[in-house]
Structure 1
Amino acid sequence: MKTEAVLFAGVAGFFLAAGAVYVWLSGREPAGSAALAVSFVMASLMAFFFAVNYRRRGARPEDDEKAVIADRAGPLGFFPPRSAYPALTALGAAVTALGIVFGLWLFIIGFGVLAAGVGGMAFQYVQREA
């Protein structure tokens, strides 16, 4: 993750320099200045995240040129065989989007269906033994 931290630090430095030049040349125009400032903050946050994770966990197998694929292998986890909840979630999202166009009543119905689908996906296998 050290490479990613350096990469995002470089992006943050670019946004900082571009923002300073933009503020100087535009006469403090607020929209572009704010966009570049937010871009700088977001890139800095990502660089900080990757740097902290690198310090905590150290180098990954991907960082070693002599590593093999098996070095990263581990338990894959649980994958459900079939579920109706993804279709219900998609239906809820579609009805919610139509509700934005056609009215609050349809939006509320769609949001209820969407919440049921997302809740069902989240809690479908809660009773499953690990």
Structure 2
Amino acid sequence: MKVEALLFGGVALFFAAAAALYGAWSGEPAGTAVLIVAFGMAAVVSFFCAVQYRRRGRRPQDRTDAEVADAAGPLEFFPPHSPWPLVTALGFSIAALGVVYGLWLFLIGAGVLARGVLGMVFQYATRQD
């Protein structure tokens, strides 16, 4: 993750410099705001990768002496069946229609969307590794 952290750190620095130059020369606030948001998103990804590198250390992909077998084994738990992605998609669709047709439909969609997201987040909260 160290290489990824450095890569996204460089991207963040590029967007920071571009935002500063664009804001100073153009005086246009919308483009400057977009570049600042792009800087923030790249900085968050870089920070995440740096924290993961410090917590977990070097991965087999980062070492030149690593074998293929070093990266073998279970990587993560992936649920086989879950209704929550469908509930989340339905909630987002209803909320998007609510933007067009009215606040009442948007609020219903936001409620369904919130239930779907919470269902996905806490579906395996009590699962033992």
TM-score, normalised to structure 2, is 0.65
- CA drift of 1:128 comes to 5.6
Would you say 1:61 and 2:60 are equivalent positions?
Answer: yes
Task: Render the CA deviation track for 1:91-119: whole Å, top value 9, x for unaligned.
Answer: 23222222222222222333333334344
- CA drift of 1:57 comes to 3.1
1:24-35 paired onto structure 2 within 5 Å = 24-26=24-26, 28-35=27-34
Residue 95 of structure 2 aligns with which residue?
Answer: 96
Q: Percent identity?
A: 59
Residue 72 of structure 1 aligns with which residue?
Answer: 71
Residue 15 of structure 2 aligns with which residue?
Answer: 15
- Equivalent-residue separation in structure 1 for 2:121 and 2:72 (angstroms): 26
- Equivalent-residue separation in structure 1 for 2:48 and 2:124 (angstroms): 31
- Equivalent-residue separation in structure 2 for 1:50 and 1:129 (angstroms): 26
Q: 1:74 to 1:41 in 2, by over 3 A?
A: same
- Equivalent-residue separation in structure 1 for 2:118 and 2:71 (angstroms): 32
- CA drift of 1:124 comes to 4.4
- CA drift of 1:63 comes to 0.8
- CA drift of 1:41 comes to 4.2
- Equivalent-residue separation in structure 2 for 1:20 and 1:87 (angstroms): 42
TM-score, normalised to structure 1, is 0.65
- CA drift of 1:2 comes to 1.9
- CA drift of 1:62 comes to 0.8
- Equivalent-residue separation in structure 2 for 1:124 and 1:50 (angstroms): 26
Task: Render the CA deviation track for 1:48-98: whole Å, top value 9, x for unaligned.
Answer: 443343344332111123423432234342523x34443333323222222
Name the amino acid aligned to 1:2: K
The count of residues paired between Structure 1 and Structure 2 equals 128
Residue 4 of structure 2 aligns with which residue?
Answer: 4
Q: 1:116 to 1:52 in 2, by over 3 A?
A: closer
The root-mean-square deviation of aligned C-alpha atoms, in Å, is 3.2
Q: 1:14 to 1:126 in 2, by over 3 A?
A: closer
- CA drift of 1:35 comes to 3.4
In structure 1, runs of 5+ residues without a counterpart are none
